[in-house]
């Protein structure tokens, strides 16, 4: 195909099709996980009862409102519950391809990683907020540098829209916001001195006022309406700001989900070896360009994003595998900056060796990604990327409960610590009571945790693994 633009459109179309297939194939094979079931159930309640209240423990409202909207259109199901992260994963892949504008053919490798990275592919199919942030921030980076080139206001408004989506999705959006804003200030001060700040703060014209007013309107309208649940809970605005930061600082101080400082380093070595290897290879080229002062603003931002992200997530005590996507993305972008050039660089005098290495990394990435996503997706014991995954026997328990209910038996789920998720999601269409206290003996059958076997006395009809090392039992009361 002679026309490069037509060729790129064709390649992008193929990339999007591959992204759709890899994200949607076997999307419902894995049981709804603990957090997924909460997100899906609260979205279902939002649609059914028009009720929502922001709680920092369950992150921002955007996922719930987006999922509730999809439920309203397509019905409530596991497939639909996982569509929002799929959509933002598609945005991430599409934007990655469009970075060709600044990194040339290296964008093909970056797109490959955004398609097949083990952590990104796995959590693109997971009803969580993290891929919303990844897709949105890549769109912001793209819009910012396009604005620098074109000065078209639409790129500003798109950036504000995506930043608002991020802030309305998850609290680590503030990490992204700090990284982005601090880079702009530091780069401006280094390039222009205090004239940069004077120009930004003191110099105003009609265009700048218009941009600020429209941007503010976009942010305030979306932020206020979502966090206040359609202006019905104004206290949600306080919980969204001071409350959210206070909650997560408390979680950090309490060492909630604590892992050792090298936790993400192990995950990178085991799963994200391709962006890690490419990032290491790219360091000498970055240093060479730094010494001859040829670094672009895009290159500087990419390294700054990566370094600040590595520091932030390694320092925070709250460490969980889905946060790996926030590290893998900037690492992949930095690692792909110079892949087009490294074919011809002295660091790899033998081009064949470099290409064999790259091909080997791609094959290993495909194998690792497909295995953990489509084959071993329930193995929370041996797969570090998977976190306390709900097991298939949970669905068997839910089906047993539904059977007993439909045959007019009185049944209750009784768990003093409310440790019964994801059962509320699987039983959402049935009036099954859930209790943490009260008279469970008034029921014929009781579902409870195995640790309550000495309290809920009766005939144990079944033992079900809810997640690794945690079991619930079905008891027929005497």
State pLDDT tens for residues 175-196: 999 999 999 999 999 998 888 8
pLDDT tens digits along 80-94: 999 999 999 999 999
For residues 140, 235, 68, 399, the Cα torsion angle rounded to the nearest 10 degrees is 120
- Weakest-pLDDT range from 10-14, 206-210, 251-255, 296-300: 251-255
C-alpha 91/C-alpha 98 separation (Å) is 11
pLDDT for the residue 349: 59
228 SS3 class: coil
Q: Which of 214, 231, 174 is nearest to 60 (CA)?
A: 174
Task: Evaluate the omega torsion of the peptide bond into residue 113 and state whether it is cis, within 30 degrees of 0.
Answer: no
Which of 86, 114, 104 minimizes the C-alpha distance to 332? Answer: 114
Contact indicator for 462, 469 with CB cutoff of 8 Å = no
Strands 470-477 and 458-467: antiparallel
Q: Which stretch of DSSP H or E encloses residue 263?
A: helix 263-270
**Phi, psi for 311 (deg, rounded to 5):** -65, -50
pLDDT of residue 342: 63
* Residue 352 pLDDT level (bands cut at 50, 70, 90): confident
**75 φ/ψ sector (left φ>0, alpha ψ -120 to 50, else beta):** left
Average pLDDT over residues 436-444: 93
Q: Which helix (H) or strand (E) holds 435?
A: strand 434-435
Q: Note the pLDDT tens digit of each residue in 376-390.
A: 999 999 999 999 899
6 pLDDT band, cuts 50/70/90, is: confident
Distances (CA, A) of 163 to 45, 317, 325: 27, 25, 18
Contacts 24+ apart (CB under 8 A), 229-233: 229/51, 229/52, 229/53, 229/54, 229/61, 233/52, 233/53, 233/54
Percent of the chain with pLDDT over 90: 79
pLDDT classification of 11: cutoffs 50, 70, 90: very high
Q: Does the pTM exceed 0.85?
A: yes
Q: What is the mean pLDDT of residues 422-429?
A: 97
What does the pLDDT average to over 329-357? 78
Average pLDDT across the chain, whole number: 93
Lowest mean pLDDT among 95-99, 229-233, 303-307, 331-335: 229-233
What does the pLDDT read at residue 345? 55
Q: Is residue 351's pLDDT more than 80?
A: no
Radius of gyration (Cα) for the chain, nearest Å? 25
The closest alpha carbon to 467, from 23, 36, 129, belongs to: 36
Q: What is the pLDDT of residue 324?
A: 97
430 torsion bin: left (phi>0), alpha (psi -120 to 50), beta (else): beta
- Per-residue confidence at 346, pLDDT binned at 50, 70, 90? very low
State the average pLDDT over residues 164-175: 95
- What pLDDT, in 10s, does the model give residues 50-65? 999 998 889 999 999 9
């Amino acid at each position: 195909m002679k026309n490069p633009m037509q060729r790129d459109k064709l390649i992008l179309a193929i990339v999007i099709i591959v992204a759709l297939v890899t994200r949607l194939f076997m999307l419902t094979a894995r049981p709804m996980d603990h957090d997924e079931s909460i997100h899906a159930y609260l979205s279902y309640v939002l649609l059914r009862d028009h009720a929502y209240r922001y709680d920092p423990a369950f992150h921002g409202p955007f996922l719930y409102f987006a999922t509730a909207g999809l439920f309203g259109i397509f019905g409530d199901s596991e497939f639909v519950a996982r569509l929002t992260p799929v959509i933002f994963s598609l945005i991430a892949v599409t934007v990655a391809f469009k970075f060709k504008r600044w990194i040339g053919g290296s964008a093909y490798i970056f797109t490959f990683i955004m398609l097949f990275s083990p952590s990104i592919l796995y959590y693109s199919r997971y009803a969580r907020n993290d891929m919303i942030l990844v897709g949105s921030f890549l769109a912001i980076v793209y819009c910012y540098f396009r604005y620098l080139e074109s000065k078209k206001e639409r790129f500003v408004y798109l950036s504000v829209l995506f930043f608002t989506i991020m802030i309305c999705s998850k609290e680590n959006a503030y990490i992204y916001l700090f990284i982005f804003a601090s880079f702009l200030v530091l780069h401006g001060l280094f390039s222009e001195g205090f004239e940069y700040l004077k120009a930004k703060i003191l110099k105003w014209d009609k265009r700048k006022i218009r941009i600020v007013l429209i941007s503010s309107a976009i942010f305030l309208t979306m932020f206020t309406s979502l966090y206040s649940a359609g202006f019905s809970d104004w206290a949600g605005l306080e919980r969204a700001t001071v409350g959210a930061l206070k909650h997560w600082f408390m979680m950090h101080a309490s060492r909630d989900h604590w892992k050792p400082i090298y936790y993400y380093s192990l995950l990178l070595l085991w799963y994200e070896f391709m962006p890690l290897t490419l990032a290491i290879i790219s360091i000498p080229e970055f240093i060479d360009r730094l010494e001859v002062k040829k670094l672009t603003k895009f290159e500087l931002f990419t390294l700054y994003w990566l370094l600040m992200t590595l520091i932030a997530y390694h320092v925070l005590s709250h460490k969980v595998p889905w946060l790996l996507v926030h590290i893998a993305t900037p690492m992949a972008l930095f690692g792909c900056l110079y892949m087009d050039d490294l074919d011809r660089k002295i660091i790899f005098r033998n081009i064949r060796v470099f290409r064999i290495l790259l091909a080997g990394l791609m094959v290993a990435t495909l194998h690792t990604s497909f295995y953990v996503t489509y084959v071993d997706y329930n193995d929370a014991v041996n797969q570090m990327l998977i976190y306390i995954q709900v097991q298939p026997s949970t669905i068997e328990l839910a089906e047993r409960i539904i059977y007993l209910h439909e045959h007019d038996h009185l049944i209750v789920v009784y768990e003093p610590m409310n440790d019964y998720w994801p059962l509320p999601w699987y039983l959402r269409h049935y009036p099954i009571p859930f209790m943490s206290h009260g008279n469970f003996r008034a029921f014929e059958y009781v579902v409870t945790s195995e640790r309550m076997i000495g309290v809920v006395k009766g005939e144990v009809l079944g033992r079900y693994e809810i997640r690794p090392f945690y079991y619930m039992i079905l008891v027929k009361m005497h």
